[in-house]
Amino acid sequence: MSDSNKVALSVTCIVDQLFPEIGVATVELLRMAGYSVEFPEKQTCCGQPFSNSGFMPEAVKMAKQNIELFEPYDYVVLPNGSCTAMMRVEYLHYLEKEPQWHTRAEALSKKTYELSEFLVRVADWKPAASANAPSVTFHASCHTKRLLGMHETPRALLAAAGCKIIEMEDPDRCCGFGGVFCVRMADISNAMTRTKLDLALKTGADRMVTVDPGCMMQMQGLLKEKSTTFRIQHLANFLLEVSK
Amino acid sequence: MTATFEKFHADARKVIADPRYQFAIEDATHTKNVKRTAAAAAYPPYEPLRDHLKAVRSSILSQLGVHLETFEKNAQNAGATVHWAENGEAACQIIADICERHGATRVVKGKSMASEEVHLNHYLEKEGISPVETDLGEWIIQQAGDPPAHIIAPAIHLTRYEIAKIFERVTGEDVDPENVEGMTAMARGILRDKFLSAEVGITGGNVAIAESGSIVLVMNEGNGRMTTSLPPVLIMLIGIEKVVPNWNDASAVLSLLARAATGQALSQYTTIVTGPAREDESEGPKEVHYVLLDNGRSKLIGTKYEEILRCIRCGTCLNVCPVYRKIGGSVYNTPVSGPIGSVFTPLIAGLNEYVALPHASTLCGECLKYCPVRIDFPRMFLDLRSDEVEQKVLPWRDRVIERFAARVMSTGWLYHLLFGIGRIFQVPFIKDRQFHLPKWINPAKERRLPAFGKRSFHQVWAKGEIKDDRS
Amino acid sequence: MTARDDTLQRLHKSQHPEPHPEPWESPQSFPDLTAQFIKALQTASGKAFHVESLDKALEKAFEFMEEFKVKRIIANDEPPLNQLDLPERYTQYEWYIVDKTEGNLQEFCAHADAGLTGAEAGFAETGSLVLVSGPGKSRFTSLLPPLHIVLVQTSKLMVDIFAWQKSYHKQFPGWVGFISGPSKTGDIEGKQVLGVHGPRDYIVILYDK
């Protein structure tokens, strides 16, 4: 743990190319929490789509690229639970057989955080309570829960913002994204997503909030079948919206 | 039997489009999950016993040969004949030979996943022996000609109406589908006759205990007791990985097995067979044969897949798997389905034949979380997927596309260039930040894929729009 | 090379012995074994009763025989039943005593209305009884008739399967069974039905002395 107030943003490819507003909101939140943000521009992707499909050499190559790129910084923050899990947990596994790289991966792992983790545990920052905070249901992605063992920090931020949090039934039910699965097994994926959306809508909450852009885009892709008023948002954008 | 991508997708589409099937699978798995959770909550040692059993199974596998030899010796001392089957065909041959030696054609069978794995019924039928399934669910699907939908409850995909029709066909009588008790009583009568006249009984086994040379069979209906006591010849087929050295270990297995599988503290009947009827016993099988099935299991020892053999066949991974809960057992095209089947079957029957199975997972990890012996299925799915790439089993088109994508994603200028091109060419196809594509061309089918952002975050940052006021 | 040699050779070559964990010591305990047994058996759809004496137990058993309109009973020739002269005491029933009565046991069972046995031991935690095969003890007494009644002394109850496992040092006979309830299935739409292949009604009467 460092006393520095500088963080490096690993924006993640899905946010970079599909939802840049999540990146913008992340930067703003980190600044509100008193940190300045650096953006190593050489970054592209953590490699997860490739390890996910069994392309290990390609994934290892990208792991090494990311370790090299981010290791000079004191903190690395990602607005993406799944990619955080990749960098913090899976990289160690991929580099088991290369001791030097493994050591470097371990060092990086110790300073890599998902956004809400960083805000709550390192920055010790919480949003101010808003009188008009909508009711929300929180979707904890499978990777976030399983590999990071983390699910309280986003809820802590939502509660601090004044939101009523209504939990879904069967909260551990996978949304159906699964990375490449969502196109490789699209029919099953969509069926799983519809089940998840039903569970979310059943809560009666106004919004669903998540820290996983992959899950977010998966569910947004079928949401209009079920509702035109329910919104699914990333935690960063949600918190900014509520704080205004 | 195979699970290529095409077949898997086609079968999955069919069951997803069947609302009755969807309801049956969802309801059955939900009920099992509720029961397992309640049983675990009511049994304080459940969690620590999981860790203990994992360590026990791990240790057993690490020196499996030693335990098998002890089992064989003690089984033989108890009067059982021990056979070793190197593969499915050999197992079928051994069993058929025993039947033929006794001139037996009337054979009753208890539920056995191992027997499904080796396609025993099919083999015996070719030899003119018709084995009758005696577990009610197995008997029903045998009559229906259906594959099992679940390893513990094989007929959960059938409604009472479909089952009533099956009974009508078999008995020639009118059957009231609302009278589930009546149907069960009918089956009891039909099968009681079969038990009493059977010449050979065949069952599986849940655990084999080396120190006493016994095999344990758990069940709720009692057909296993019938099959192991009435016919003069008994054959028990069991995978070699199911041996434990002693009764403390067996008790650990039994204490978790029913709680995980059905939410019961113990099954209604636990039958322990230790060789044939003794001289002072007037009934029970005169001959008992244990058939130890290898079929690729021994090849897994010492590999990164060894831990799959810890499995106690409780079915928990099926019940918690969100993919299984959508497609049920038949789509996997292997009797042991769900996460366990998706790792085990490719390993023993060929990755090439079952290429789709390791991909039938979002890696959500529920299986690992609830497996009584903490098998790391997600890790093994990833390893199998990697094996598919290395062994060129994954279709070449997939490999070409992904390798190209990896190139793009790891090469800065290519990454920015291609996404930049995408941002331009997407314009006619997007609305409200989503692609509107016809279903036949959309890789996500009915789901709308997100459009590329108007600019990448890189571009926003480079433009200096999110300036830090403090710097 | 035989299949046996093939498999064992492969296993010996790839073995990497890990130490076996210490035996599991079950932490379970119940202040009242009998009450726990009854509760567990009832959960499993069995019936259980606790009476003070063997006489009372007999009384209760034959109340059930009347209730179920039993006419033919098969009974094991084991304690406590073998001390009771059952056929002489209850002449209104047709009796088959295992290994004592002449005639084909299975044929009798095909039309028997009830089976009567004792038990070797019981596990309170799961409401289970241990039955074994052997002289005077048929596997079918507790299996073929639609009603099975057991008379067992409360002193035979142990905490759980681990307690039994610790105490059991004998050779196993051909058959040992743990009976934890009546026969049941949920194979048709998950609906529970009793009495599929084994007894539909299973009644345990526990007596103190």
pLDDT > 60? residue C98: yes
Q: Is the pLDDT of residue B308 over 70?
A: yes
- Between B184 and A163, where is the model more confident? A163
At B357 the pLDDT is 97
Task: Give the CATH number, domain containing residue C105.
Answer: 3.40.50.10420
Between chain A and chain B, how many beta carbons pairs sit less than 8 Å apart? 188
Fill in the DSSP letter of residue A161.
Answer: T
CA distances from B54 to B257, B300, C184 (A): 13, 17, 30
**pLDDT band of C97, cuts 50, 70, 90:** very high
Does chain C touch chain A (at least 3 C-beta pairs within 8 Å)? no
- Strand-pair category, C157-158 with C175-179: unpaired
Pairing mode of beta strands C94-97, C72-75: parallel
Tens-place pLDDT, residues B359-405 = 999 999 999 999 999 999 999 999 999 999 999 999 899 999 999 99
Q: What tokens were used for C196?
A: 């599929």
B442 in reach of chain C (CB within 8 A): no
A211: helix, strand or coil:
coil
Write out pLDDT tens, residues A9-35.
999 999 999 999 999 999 999 999 999
Q: Would you say B188 and C195 are in contact if contact means Cβ atoms under 8 Å apart?
A: yes
User: Do C140 and C199 meet the contact criterion of CB atoms below 8 Å apart?
Assistant: no
DSSP SS3 for C176: strand
| Whole-number pLDDT of residue A3 | 66
Give domain status of residue C151, yes or no.
yes
**B392 and chain A: CB distance < 8 Å anywhere?**
no
Domain count, chain C: 1
Kindly tell me if the per-residue pLDDT of C161 is higher than 90: yes
Q: Is residue C14 part of a domain?
A: no
| Closest CA relative to residue A213, chosen from A179, A187, A180 | A179
Among C164, C180, C187, C194, pick the best mutation site for testing chain B contact (most B Cβ within 10 A): C187
SS3 B315: coil
**Phi, psi (5° rounding) for residue B450?**
-75, 145
SS3 B371: coil
Instruction: Give the amino acid at A82.
Output: S
Contact with chain A for residue B388, Cβ under 8 A: yes
Q: Inspect the interface and report whether the beta carbons of B443 and A61 lie closer than 8 Å.
A: no
Q: Please name the residue ranges forming H helices in B328-395.
A: 338-349, 366-370, 377-390
Contact B460/A188, CB-based, under 8 Å? no
Tell me: the pLDDT tens digits for B191-244? 888 888 999 999 999 999 999 999 999 999 999 999 999 999 999 999 999 999
Containing H/E element for C177?
strand C175-179
Check CB contact of A45 with chain B, cutoff 8 Å: yes
Q: Which of B172-181, B305-314, C32-41 has the lowest mean pLDDT?
A: B172-181
Report the candidate in B271, B255, B274 with the shortest Cα–Cα distance to residue B212. Answer: B274
Task: Sort out which chain A residues have CB atoms less than 8 A from B369's CB and list them.
Answer: 146
- Asked if residue B91 lies in contact with residue B240, where contact means CB atoms within 8 angstroms, the answer is no
| Interface check B405 vs A, CB under 8 A | yes
Tell me whether chains A and B touch (3+ CB pairs under 8 A).
yes
- For the four alpha carbons of B116, B122, B123 and B128, in that order, the dihedral sign comes to positive
CA-to-CA distance for B17 and B149, rounded, in angstroms?
Answer: 16
Which strands make up the sheet holding A36-38, listed edge to edge?
Answer: A36-38, A6-9, A76-78, A112-114
What are the beta bridge partners of residue B84?
Answer: B292
> Strand, coil or helix: what is B92?
helix
Give the domain extent around C137: 30-184+192-207
Convert the pLDDT of each residue in B120-143 to its tens digit.
999 999 999 989 999 888 888 888
Instruction: Give yes or no for residue C28 having a pLDDT over 70.
Output: yes
pLDDT at B469: 58
- Provide the edge-to-edge strand list for the sheet that holds C94-97: C47-51, C201-207, C147-153, C114-117, C72-75, C94-97
Subunits that touch chain A (at least 3 Cβ pairs < 8 angstroms)?
B
Q: Pick the closest to residue C134 from C96, C95, C174, C100 (CA basis).
A: C174
Pick C198's closest partner by Cβ from B90, B222, B285: B222
Report the alpha-carbon distance of residue B451 to residue B432 in Å, rounded: 9
Phi (first) and psi of residue B316, to 5 degrees: -60, -40
Residue B467 scores a pLDDT above 80: no
Helices marked H in chain A: 13-17, 20-32, 48-52, 56-70, 81-85, 91-94, 99-109, 115-117, 142-148, 152-160, 181-184, 186-202, 213-226, 235-243
The type of residue at B444 is: A
With the C-alpha atoms ordered B115, B270, B306, B364, is the resulting torsion angle positive or negative? positive
d(C-alpha B359, C-alpha B381), whole Å: 7
Of residues B66, B84, B192, nearest to C3 (C-beta): B84
Please name the amino acid found at residue B242. K
- State percent of chain B over pLDDT 90: 81
pLDDT of B11 over the 80 cut: yes
- Comparing alpha-carbon positions, the chain C residue that sits nearest to B214 is C172
Beta-strand relationship, B269-273 and B214-219: antiparallel
Asked if residue B151 lies in contact with residue B257, where contact means CB atoms within 8 angstroms, the answer is: no
Residue type at position B53? L
Given a cut of 70, is residue B181 above it in pLDDT? yes
Over residues A43-65, the pLDDT tens digits come to: 999 999 999 999 999 999 999 99
Residue A103 corresponds to which tokens in the numbers above? 């050591």
- Cα separation, B206 vs B249, in Å, equals 13
The tokens for C180 are 């934890």
Beta strands C121-123 and C128-132 are antiparallel
Provide the token pair at B192: 């009681």
Bond into C80 cis (ω within 30): yes
> Domains in chain B, start-ordered, CATH in brackets?
5-298 (3.40.50.10420), 304-390 (no CATH), 396-462 (no CATH)
Specify the DSSP class assigned to residue B311. Answer: -
Whether C11 maps to a domain, the answer reads: no
Closest CA to C90 of C56, C66, C124, C107: C66
What does the pLDDT average to over B273-297?
94
Interface of B with A in 308-347 (CB under 8 A): 322-323, 326-327
Distance CA A145, CA A127 (A): 23
Confidence class of residue B160 from pLDDT cuts 50, 70 and 90? confident
Sites in chain A below the pLDDT cut of 70: 1-3, 150
* pLDDT tens column, C4-20: 999 999 999 999 999 99
pLDDT, residue B161, reads 87
Confidence at B470, pLDDT banded by 50, 70, 90: low
Give me the interface pTM, i.e. the ipTM. 0.96
Count other Cβ atoms within 10 Å, centred on residue A227: 12
CB contact under 8 A, C179 and B247: no
Half-sphere exposure in the Cβ direction for B428 (13 Å, CA)? 1
Token pair recorded at residue B226: 């019938």
Residue A93: both structure tokens together:
């596994």
Other beta carbons less than 10 A from residue B379's beta carbon: 17
Q: Which helix (H) or strand (E) holds B447?
A: none
* pLDDT tens track for B255-269: 999 999 999 999 999
CB B435, CB B429: distance < 8 Å: yes
Average pLDDT in the B28-38 region?
95
**Within a domain: C24:** no
| A-chain residue closest to B434, CA distance | A221
Cα–Cα distances in angstroms (integers) from residue C75 to residues A71, B121, B163, C102, C159, in the given order: 79, 37, 37, 13, 27
Contact A125, A92 (CB under 8 A): no
Residues of C in contact with B85 (CB under 8 A): 3
- Cα C141 to Cα C192: distance, rounded to the nearest angstrom: 24
pLDDT band at B443 (very low <50, low <70, confident <90, very high): very high
Q: How far apart are CA A161 and CA B135, in angstroms?
A: 57
Q: Judge contact between B300 and B346, C-beta under 8 A.
A: no
Residues B88, B54: Cα–Cα separation, whole Å: 27
User: Does the pLDDT value for residue B111 go beyond 80?
Assistant: yes
